[in-house]
Amino acid sequence: MRIFTAALATETNTFSPICIDKRAFEASLYAPPGAHPETPTLCTAPITVGRQVAAEKGWQLIEGTAAWADPAGLVNRQTYEDLRDEIVDQLRAALPVDAVVLGLHGAMVADGYEDTEGDLLARIREIIGPDVLLCAELDPHSHLTDKRVAAADFFVFFKEFPHTDFVDRAKDLWRIAVDTLEGRVKPVMSVFDCRMIDVFPTSREPMRSFVDKLMRIEKDDADVLSLSVVHGFMAGDVPEMGTKMIAVTDGNREKGQALASALGLELFAKRGTYRMPEIDERRAVAEAIAATAGPVVIADMWDNPGGGTAGDATVVLEELLASGVADAAIGTIWDPMAVQICMAAGEGAEIPLRFGAKSAPGTGSPIDGTVKVINLVRNAEMRFGESFAPFGDAAHICYRGIDIILNSTRAQSFDPSLFSVMGIDPRSKKILVIKSTNHFFASFSKIASKILYCSAGTPYPNDPAKTPYRRARRDIWPIIADPHTPKRGAA
C-alpha cells in the first residue's frame, strides 16, 4: 500500500485582530516532507501515528508538508494558497496512492476562502478520483461543511476538550483506514445538524457522560466505527457554523443517520448546561484572596490565544493591583515589544515599561510603571502533554510585587511548566492567573487548590446570541430559541 499523509491546520477567530501569514506557521510548526518531529503537534498526529502503522504493515507512507499555526485571525490568502498547492503538488507527485490520511483543524478561514478545508479536500478528491480512501482527523472546534462531507470518506474528531486524546483519535483514524484498505469495513459517514452552538468541556458534566456514552457505543456496536461531536466554533463567522453529530458506520447509512439524529437531539436537549460557571474578575480575585490555601488558579478564560485572541488583556491584573495582592503570578501577557525592551535592559534592570492591552478593545488598558526584569529566556517552551508548546522570547518581570511573564509568541497557558521555565515556582504562589479556556485543566488541576473560570472584559465573542455575525447562519440556538420545532403557521 502507498499512503499519502500531510497536515494543514489553524483555528481562525474571524473577530481576532491578529492576522497570520507564513511566518506564523513557521513560528508554530512548518515541516517539509520528512521533517516532521517524532512527537505530534495538536493536528499532526496522523503523521506520527501513520509512521508506526506503515512500519508495522510494511506499507509505504509518503509524507507531505505539515503546517500548523497557533489560533489567530484571518489567514493571508497567498499563504493559504501556497501551503495548499504545496501539499496538492506533493500528492500529485506521489500518485498512484491507495489512501490519503490528513491532519486538519477544521476552522481555518483565509482571505477569500470561508471553507479552506472544503477547498483542500475537494481538490484532493478531484486528483485521486472517487475510489481512493480520503480521511482526516480534526479538532471539534470546527465547521463541518457539506463540501467536506461530500469530498471525504470519513472524519474522526477529538472527543475530549481539553484535547488530551489527539493521539488516540489518530489511532482510531488509522485503524479504520487500515480495516478499509484490507477490505474488512466500508466506512459510511452520516451527519446530523444539531442547529446549535455551545461550548462543551468534557472535564465536567453533562458532556463527560455523553462522551463516555459515545465510546461505549463504539465498543459495543460492531456496525459503529466512530462517533464524533463537532462542537462548532462560535468565533468563526462563516455560513455553516454550528454543532453537528457524526456517525461513521460499516456500510449502514440508515442506522448511522438514526444514531446521529438521536445522539444529536440528546445533545441539543441539554443546551445551555455544558459551560463551566463563569465569574467576573472582581469575584474571581475576591474568592482567590479569601481562599485559605494556594495556588488558586484564575483562568482568564476568554482571553485565550488558543481561541485566537491576542492574549494581552490586563483586566485581571488591574483587579489584582487594585486589591493590593502581591503573592500572585501571571502567565502570560503577550507583548513582543515590551519583551524586546526587557531583553535590551537585561536581567536585574529596573526600567519604566508600558505593557499589555495593546491589541484590541475590551481587554483593559496598558500598564505603565517601573518594573524589575528578573529573568529572560530566549525561545521559551512549556510542556503540553507529550509535546512542547513554544511561547517565544520571554521576560519574567516583577511589578508591585506581582510576578508577570511577558511573551513574544502568543500561546495559551497549557501547563504549570510555563512558570517554572521562567524561574517561578507555581506551587509557591497564592494566585496563578493564566490564559486558557479549558486546556489548562488537565495539568493545572494537579497543583491547584481551587480553579476559578473568569470571564473578564470582552476579548472574545463568547455570547452567540449577542455576537454581530455577518456570515453565520441565524437559525440556530441560542440565536433562536428552538430551531428544531417549525414555527406555527410557517409554510
Binding site for Zn ion (CB under 5 A): 139, 141
> What one-character DSSP code corresponds to residue 476?
S
Instruction: Mention every residue, 6+ apart, whose C-beta is less than 8 A from residue 481.
Output: none
Shortest distance in whole angstroms from residue 439 CB to Zn ion? 8
Identify which of residues 70 and 139 has a Cβ nearer to Zn ion in the complex: 139
Whose Cβ is closer to Zn ion: residue 187's or residue 201's? 201
Decide whether 73 or 295 has the Cβ nearer to Zn ion.
73
- Compare residues 408 and 437 and give the one whose CB is closer to Zn ion: 437
- Three cell numbers, residue 4: 499519502
Query: Looking at this protein, which amino acid is placed at residue 482?
Result: D
Question: Shortest approach of Zn ion to residue 71 CB, angstroms?
Answer: 8
288-294 own/partner pairs: CB under 8 Å, 24+ apart: 288/325, 288/430, 288/431, 288/450, 288/452, 289/323, 289/325, 289/431, 291/430, 291/449, 291/450, 293/449, 294/327, 294/429, 294/430, 294/431, 294/449
> What does the DSSP assignment read for 66-79?
EEE--SBSPBPHHH
The percent helix, strand, coil of the chain (3-state, each to 5) is: 30, 25, 45
Q: State which residue has the least CB distance to Zn ion.
A: 141
Per DSSP, the residues of 160-229 read -SS-TTHHHHHHHHHHHHHHHHTTS--EEEEEEE--B-----TTSTTHHHHHHHHHHHHHH-TTEEEEEE
- 375 bridge partner residues: 396
Q: At its nearest, how many Å lie between Zn ion and the CB of residue 247? A: 21
Between 30 and 200, CB nearer to Zn ion: 200
Choose between 276 and 279: whose C-beta lies nearer to Zn ion: 276
- Write down the least CB distance from residue 235 to Zn ion, Å: 11
Inter-axis angle of helices 116-128 and 77-94, nearest 10: 20
CB of 14 to Zn ion, least distance (A): 16
Q: How far apart are CA 374 and CA 129, in angstroms?
A: 59
The answer to whether the CB of 152 falls within 8 A of the CB of 207 is no
Nearer to Zn ion by Cβ, of 36 and 141: the residue is 141
Instruction: Report d(CA 44, CA 102) in Å as an integer.
Output: 8
**Residue 202 CB, nearest distance to Zn ion (Å)?**
11
Q: What are phi and psi of 169, to 5 degrees?
A: -70, -30
Residue 92 β-bridge partners: none
**Smallest distance, Zn ion to C-beta of residue 381, A:** 20
Q: Residue 243 is which amino acid?
A: T
Cβ proximity to Zn ion: between 141 and 159 the closer is 141
What are the grid coordinates assigned to 463, written together? 455570547
In whole angstroms, give the CA distance from residue 136 to residue 472. Answer: 24
In whole angstroms, how close is the CB of 163 to Zn ion at the nearest point?
Answer: 6
Query: Quick one: 141 or 195, whose CB is closer to Zn ion?
Result: 141
Q: Taking the complex as a whole, how short is the minimal distance between the CB of residue 483 and Zn ion, in angstroms?
A: 24
